[in-house]
Amino acid sequence: MPTEVGGMIFDVDGVLEYQGKVCPGAVEAIDELRNRGIVLRFLTNSTLKSRRSCAEGLRKRGFQVFDGEVITASYATALYLRELKPRSCWVMLEREGLEEFREFQQDLEDPEYIVVGDNRSVFDFGHLNLALRLLLKGAKLIGMQSELVETSVGEPELKSAPG
């Protein structure tokens, strides 16, 4: 078994920072690993962040992070969608995470794919009803993050990503 570590993956939310505050020793640990030549990657399941905005936020908190080292749920989903080569899609998402989908043709009338992320301001009956009608017409659904939690009566419900 090799004793040298070539690379490390860090979860951003809850490991490097928690509720917007840097975890004690996290910046120094990243600096030390970088000084040792360890390849670093930073992951988050937040759909609201782009690679750029996530890296920028980490840099503002003192981390030496490059955009290309960050993988967000939005970025990973856009990579997956790129492989599918859709003619069009409707990305139900807000904030900087939407940046990752610039290259795709957006279509709210007849999308090939509906991509659902954290869409707080328009996650309402009208938009959900439209999405359901489009799915019934043949659109395919891609959920960026499924995080189930139990309600007080024990039924699972979908929970939005933090961030």
Of 11, 31, 110, 124, which is the active-site residue?
11
User: What is this structure's pTM?
Assistant: 0.77
CA separation for the pair 73, 100 (Å, rounded): 10
Is there a single domain that holds both residue 68 and residue 87?
A: no
Structure tokens, 21: 């505050």
Is there a single domain that holds both residue 148 and residue 99?
A: yes
- Say which range, 10-24, 49-63, 77-91, 142-156, has the weakest mean pLDDT: 142-156
Domain annotation covers residue 163: no
- Does 31 participate in catalysis according to the annotation? no
When divided into structural domains, the chain yields a total of 2
Is there a single domain that holds both residue 91 and residue 143?
A: yes
DSSP 71-95: EEHHHHHHHHHHHH--S-EEEE--G
- Does 67 participate in catalysis according to the annotation? no
Residue 55 sits in which domain range? 7-73
pLDDT digits (tens, 9 = 90+) for 87-145: 999 888 888 888 889 999 888 889 999 888 888 777 778 888 888 899 999 999 888 87
